[in-house]
Copies of this chain bind each other. A is one copy, B any other.
Amino acid sequence: MPSATEQKIIDAAVRLFAAQGYDATSVQEIVAAAEVTKGALYHYFRAKDDLLFEIYRLLITSQSADMDRIIGLGLSSADTVREILVSLVVSTAERVDETAVFVRELHRLGEDRMTEFRAERRRYHETFLAVIEKGQADGSFSSGVPADTVVRIALGVVNQLPIWYRPDGPKPPGLLAEEIADFVLAGLR
């Protein structure tokens, strides 16, 4: 969990990056918007791209923890998939600004960060894949479509949310999440 100061810096950076772009945003502006000192910012983040990575890392870390928690509940395969998708869609839909900034600036991450980013994503993908495979193996789900393609479809719509979804639009995050879960579970029956 980030400290209150760290969270203030991250929130200010997300707002500024989303509104005016990553390049056009200076560390000085972030410091001013967050109402912290430059020293405080550099205590948590060595550079602007540390901040970019941290924005994303906090999101995926909390989404991975959610998935692990849901799997630990020992629900049926269908309920596990539903809970994972609802939690993932809602948390992503509520944070489309952060995700949009990160996706747009992804190519700026250095090699180490890119490797860490890919590893985090792969872990999430593989844990979800194992849930689908288990349901196919025990007959809870149809095996008509291979589990890896099911995962690509389910995560594809989530990864595209930053392109088109607005949390203040006509469809609230929770409703969209249930619709996506309904469709994926219908496809798995």
Given contacts A159-B163, A160-B160, is CB(A153)–CB(B183) below 8 Å?
Answer: yes
State the number of copies, please: 2
A156 at the interface (CB under 8 A from B): yes
| Stretch in A60-68, A73-81, A142-150 with 4+ CB within 8 Å of B | A142-150
The 8 Å CB contact of A180, one of B149, B163, B180, B186, is B149
Given contacts A104-B107, A107-B104, A187-B186, is CB(A152)–CB(B145) below 8 Å?
Answer: no
Which A residues lie at the B interface, using CB under 8 A? 104, 107, 142, 144-146, 149-150, 152-153, 155-160, 163-164, 176, 179-180, 182-184, 186-189
- Give me 14 other A-B pairs in contact (C-beta within 8 A), A146-B179, A187-B187 excluded: A144-B183, A145-B179, A145-B182, A149-B176, A149-B183, A153-B157, A153-B183, A156-B158, A156-B159, A156-B160, A157-B157, A159-B163, A186-B188, A186-B189
Assess the B176–A144 pair: CB atoms within 8 A. no
